[in-house]
Amino acid sequence: MTISTNTEALNATALATRAIHAGQEPDPTTGAVVTPIYMTSTFKQDGVGGLRHGYDYSRSINPTRNSFDEQLAAVEGAKYALSFSSGLAAIDVLLRSTLKPGDNILLGNDVYGGTYRLLSKVFVPWGIGLDVVDITDTAAVIPTEYKGILPDLFKEGKGVVAQGKLDERGVFVASEVLAKHDENYMPPEAQEAVDKAHAAMKTFDEKGSKEAAAQAAKK
């Protein structure tokens, strides 16, 4: 059986196959089937703007990171994925790509401190409004409406990130809803695969223990 490294073809395969093969294009020079770790900081350019496959500096784009992003997207069932060196870097990119001067952010008072400092010291001077609310004050809750498909992680009582506008009724009409999760989150398929692996290992260990006990009894 030939395994295609093409992401679209891999989307129809099992999670384990995607986790191993997605993003792993064979090296055209050596034929290596696993993407190496590129330690270089700079890539050779064929003149001004003459980038080779779009690479200039590793801080902006790197073959190893591209491979990881493609693999992560395949595992998550997404079209694209972007990795960052920190959570705050990811938050910064998300905010800069969606906000413009004149927009306003409604922020819960349980937000990560680094996020608040980023907003108050960088985005507010840029012209972004910022209101911090007490999330335990139920009298100050703003009714929200959203018409669309909610993310798989959405549950009653779970925090979300909603983007939209406040209408004339005082209702926040969300155009997009993103579920929040911690660093321990796993896609359902991945969690199922891990659980099966743990169960198989437990069965193997129990079988080995019984066989060892039987051998000891014979002696």
pLDDT digits (tens, 9 = 90+) for 37-57: 888 888 888 878 777 778 888
Angstrom distances, CA of residue 137 to CA of 13, 37, 105, 179: 47, 50, 18, 21
pLDDT digits (tens, 9 = 90+) for 174-194: 887 776 655 555 556 666 777
Q: Where are the alpha helices (DSSP H) in 77-187?
A: 87-98, 113-118
pTM given for the model: 0.55
| Mean pLDDT, rounded, for 100-123 | 89
Domain boundaries along the sequence of the chain:
7-76
| Mean pLDDT, rounded, for 23-41 | 81
Within 10 A of 135 (CB to CB), how many other CB atoms are there?
A: 14
> Looking at the predicted structure, is the pLDDT value of residue 214 above 70?
no
Distance, in Å, from the CA atom of 164 to the CA atom of 153, rounded to the nearest integer, reads 20
